[in-house]
């Protein structure tokens, strides 16, 4: 119930922000400068995005990373580990996907345990031994059991939509027509362009950090090997520090989905952490021994 309420709150927040964006863009000539019409139009767009996020956000995420759903024959080692972990967690067998990426990482997505997908990169399959990989998959299956996947996937989609809306407003302010000299419109537009991307990241911060600690704990209980997950986290963090992903390779708004944040460096992704510090996660796991 709490997860459903959080998802509805996200949808409501997105709708409100889009309607504000419609009001501001009306000042630049959209919908003939009619703020009410523009707000209704952007409210409808937000509703369509909300429905699409609920049913298709996991497919969008998998598509954006070119993840391929694999069978037992195509990825026997990964499939067997996920199957074993799902059995321990008393959950339906999720679909298994492989991401063609050398960076070691993983995530879970889907709107419910019956529609879950657990995805692993090629890099993590090459780097981790069986115990460590089982620890990571147990963490992702814990997200499935805790029903975190929908809220985290929707949060990533909402963050991307908010960032897109803010950029659209920015370019409209530079090159759009209409009466953009209205002080109220200018003030609201400037505030939206400045604060909307920050709000997108804060949404993910509020959701992601506590969920990662809980998934670490539950995952360690499922696998019975907290040390294996701790080792895996350290290895992945080391790679993320040496060779982080950039916006050329992927969208930073999806960072909260991964078990370890693969992005570092400039932009808003460098100002906020979507994950708890790996050192603290390792410390908590070691305390379970």
Q: How far apart are CA 280 and CA 46, in angstroms?
A: 37
- CA 76 from centroid of its chain's CA atoms: 27
Q: Rounded to the nearest 5 degrees, what angle is found at the Cα of 44, between the Cα atoms of 41 and 45?
A: 85
What span, in angstroms and rounded, lies between the C-alpha atoms of 95 and 77?
14
- CA 87 – CA 278 distance, rounded (Å): 28
Q: Which residues are catalytic?
A: 140
The whole-number pLDDT of residue 221 equals: 96
CA atoms of 135 and 85, how far apart (whole Å): 9
- What pLDDT is attached to residue 241? 87
Rounded Cα distance, 139 and 225, in Å: 11
Alpha-carbon span 106 to 262, nearest angstrom: 10
- Report yes or no on whether pTM surpasses 0.75: no
Rounded-to-5 percentages of helix, strand, coil across the chain: 70, 5, 25
Please report the pLDDT score of residue 160 as a whole number: 67
**Residue 225 in tokens:** 């090997």
Strand order in the sheet with 95-99: 68-70, 95-99, 117-121, 106-109
Provide CB contacts within 8 A for 8, sequence distance 6+: none
* 220 within 8 A of 285, measured Cβ to Cβ: yes
Which residue numbers in the chain have pLDDT < 70? Answer: 1-8, 10-11, 14, 25-33, 50, 53-54, 150, 152-208, 247-251, 253, 264-274
CB distance 264 to 239 below 8 Å: no
Smallest CA-to-CA distance from 222 within 55, 73, 90 is with 90
Question: What is the total count of domains within the chain?
Answer: 1
Enclosing domain of residue 176: 2-287
Helix (H) or strand (E) holding 69: strand 68-70
Q: What is the DSSP track for 199-243?
A: HHHHHHHHHHHHHHHHHHHHHHHHHS-HHHHHHHHHHHHHHHHHS
79: nearest Cα among 152, 7, 32, 137: 137
Separation CA 215–CA 106 (nearest Å): 13
Angle between helices 149-175 and 183-223 (to 10 degrees): 160
């Amino acid at each position: 119930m709490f997860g459903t309420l959080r998802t509805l709150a996200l949808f409501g927040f997105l709708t409100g922000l889009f309607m504000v964006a419609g009001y501001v863009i009306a000042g630049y000539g959209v919908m003939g400068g009619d703020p009410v019409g523009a707000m209704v139009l952007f409210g409808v767009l937000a509703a369509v995005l909300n429905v699409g996020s609920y049913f298709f956000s996991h497919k969008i995420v998998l598509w954006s990373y070119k993840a391929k759903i694999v069978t037992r024959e195509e990825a026997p080692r990964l499939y067997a580990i996920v199957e074993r972990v799902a059995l321990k967690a008393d959950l339906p067998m999720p679909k298994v996907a492989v991401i063609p990426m050398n960076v070691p990482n993983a995530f879970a997505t889907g709107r419910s345990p019956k529609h879950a997908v657990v995805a692993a990169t090629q890099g993590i399959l090459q780097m981790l031994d069986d115990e460590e990989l089982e620890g990571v998959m147990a963490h992702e299956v814990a997200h499935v059991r805790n029903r975190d996947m929908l809220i985290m996937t929707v949060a990533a989609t909402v963050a991307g939509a908010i960032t897109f809306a803010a950029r659209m407003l920015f370019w409209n302010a530079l090159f759009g027509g209409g009466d953009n000299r209205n002080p109220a419109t200018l003030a609201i537009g400037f505030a939206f362009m400045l604060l909307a991307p920050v709000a997108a990241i804060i949404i993910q911060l509020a959701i992601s950090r506590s969920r990662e600690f809980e998934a670490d704990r539950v995952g360690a209980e499922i696998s019975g090997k907290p040390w294996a997950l701790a080792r895996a986290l350290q290895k992945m963090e080391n790679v993320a520090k040496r060779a982080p992903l950039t916006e050329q390779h992927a969208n930073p708004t999806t960072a909260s989905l991964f078990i370890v944040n693969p992005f570092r460096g400039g932009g808003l992704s460098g100002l906020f952490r979507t994950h708890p510090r790996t050192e603290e996660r390792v410390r908590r796991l070691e305390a379970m021994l």
